[in-house]
Amino acid sequence: MSFWTLFAKELLRFVKVSVQTVAAPVLTALLYLVIFGQVLEGRMQVFDGVRYTSFLVPGLVMMSVLQNAFANSSSSLIQSKITGNIVFILLAPISYAEFFWAYVAASVARGLAVGAGVLAVAAGLVELRLEAPLWALAFALLGAALLGALGVLAGIISEKIDQLAAFQNFVILPLTMLSGVFYSIHSLPGFWRGVSHLNPFFYMIDGFRYGFFASSDFPPGVSLAVVAVAFGAVASVCLLLLKSGYKLRT
pLDDT of residue 73: 97
Q: Answer with the residue of higher pLDDT: 63 or 34.
A: 63
pLDDT range class, residue 32, cuts 50, 70, 90: very high
The model's pLDDT over 175-221, given as tens digits with 9 standing for 90+, comes to: 998 899 988 888 888 888 888 899 999 999 999 999 999 988 899 99
pLDDT of residue 187: 81
State yes or no: pLDDT of 12 exceeds 60.
yes
Q: Answer with the residue of higher pLDDT: 225 or 94.
A: 225
pLDDT range class, residue 250, cuts 50, 70, 90: low
The model's pLDDT over 224-239, given as tens digits with 9 standing for 90+, comes to: 999 999 999 999 999 9
State yes or no: pLDDT of 222 exceeds 90.
yes
Torsional class of 129: left (φ above 0), alpha (ψ -120 to 50), beta (otherwise):
beta
pLDDT of residue 89: 85
Checking 152-155 for CB contacts under 8 A at 24+ apart, the result is 152/73, 152/74, 152/77, 152/100, 152/103, 152/104, 152/238, 153/234, 153/237, 153/238, 153/241, 154/70, 154/74, 154/77, 155/73, 155/74, 155/75, 155/76, 155/77, 155/78, 155/81
At residue 169, what is the residue type?
A: N
State yes or no: pLDDT of 43 exceeds 80.
no
pLDDT of residue 188: 83
pLDDT range class, residue 2, cuts 50, 70, 90: confident
DSSP codes joined into one string, 80-121 = HHHHSTHHHHHHSS--HHHHHHHHHHHHHHHHHHHHHHHHHH
Residues 6+ apart with CB under 8 A from 89: 6, 80, 99
Q: Which of 203, 201, 196, 204 is nearest to 141 (CA)?
A: 204
pLDDT of residue 127: 85
Q: What is the pTM of this model?
A: 0.94
Q: What's the length of the chain?
A: 250
Q: Which of 121, 102, 129 is nearest to 3 (CA)?
A: 102
The model's pLDDT over 61-87, given as tens digits with 9 standing for 90+, comes to: 999 999 999 999 999 999 999 988 888
